[in-house]
Chains A and B, each alone.
Chain A
Amino acid sequence: DIQMTQSPSSLSASVGDRVTITCRASQGIRNDLGWYQQKPGKAPKRLIYAASSFQSGVPSRFSGSGSGTEFTLTISSLQPEDFATYYCLQHNSYPLTFGGGTKVEIK
């Protein structure tokens, strides 16, 4: 199985901050990675697909990069509605696996 190591597991940041979340795959997954945002009591919402492609309707402050084993989600200027938990998902091989999540909290 491909392990997805996501870091940090949590972070505190202020509105306007630049935030970076990383996922590391235990083996190469090309660009078969998506990023999701989840708010309490809600279903996850896709932000980025194919590692760096923008999901329609998602604010441009969200961006993704990486390929192979190292991937990054960046929020260029954190907004109040961005406080949530973020997950990466690899869909390169079965079983599909998620990172452990990053909870972004208000500082």
Chain B
Amino acid sequence: EVQLVESGGGLVQPGGSLRLSCAASGFTFSDHYMDWVRQAPGKGLEWVGRTRKKANSYTTEYAASVKGRFTISRDDSKNSLYLQMNSLKTEDTAVYYCARVDHSSGYSFDYWGQGTLVTVSS
């Protein structure tokens, strides 16, 4: 069974940093691109960014709203995905989901984690 479990959320002050993790199991993690998606309270879904797999040199893509502040990385040996968030702003307050990219049936997301809440507030 595919499982994605996020952790690391919490309360942080504006300008601060936080690192989120996503532990994957039930599939060959190294075979998949992985993404982060967020959802501000009461709002819609917003794509944050992507890390490709080793065969694609682990290259990344980011939304303009987080580029230069957030960094996505992965450790295939630990089946883990990370989101390093720096220079946090109040507008970064959201539930952050990790999502598996489905290569076999279009590059959309077939599995999501349960999410972890990040609150940026003084």
Contacts and interface: CB of A to CB of B under 8 A. Distances in A.
Interface of A: 1, 31-34, 36, 38, 42-46, 49-50, 53, 55, 87, 89, 91, 94-101
Nearest to B44: A101
B61 A50 contact: no
A42 B115 CA distance: 8
Contacts of B61: 94-95
Given A43-B114, A43-B115, A44-B45, A95 B108 contact: no
Dominant secondary structure of chain B at its interface with chain A: strand
A31 B113 CA distance: 25
Interface in B106-122: 106-110, 112-115
A46 B108 contact: yes
Contacts of B106: 31-32, 34, 49-50, 53, 91
A46 B109 contact: yes
Given A43-B97, A43-B114, A98 B46 contact: yes
A97 B47 CA distance: 6
Contacts of B46: 98
Dominant secondary structure of chain A at its interface with chain B: loop
Nearest to B115: A43
Contacts of A89: 45, 47, 108-109
B63 interface: yes
Interface string B60-98: 011110000000000000000000000000000000010
Contacts of B115: 43
B28 interface: no
Contacts of B62: 95
Nearest to A31: B106
A100 B44 contact: yes
A49 B64 contact: no
Nearest to A42: B114
B64 A46 contact: no
A38 B110 CA distance: 13
B44 A95 contact: no
B44 A87 contact: yes
Given A42-B114, A44-B45, A91-B107, 6 more contacts: A34-B106, A38-B45, A44-B97, A46-B110, A91-B106, A99-B44
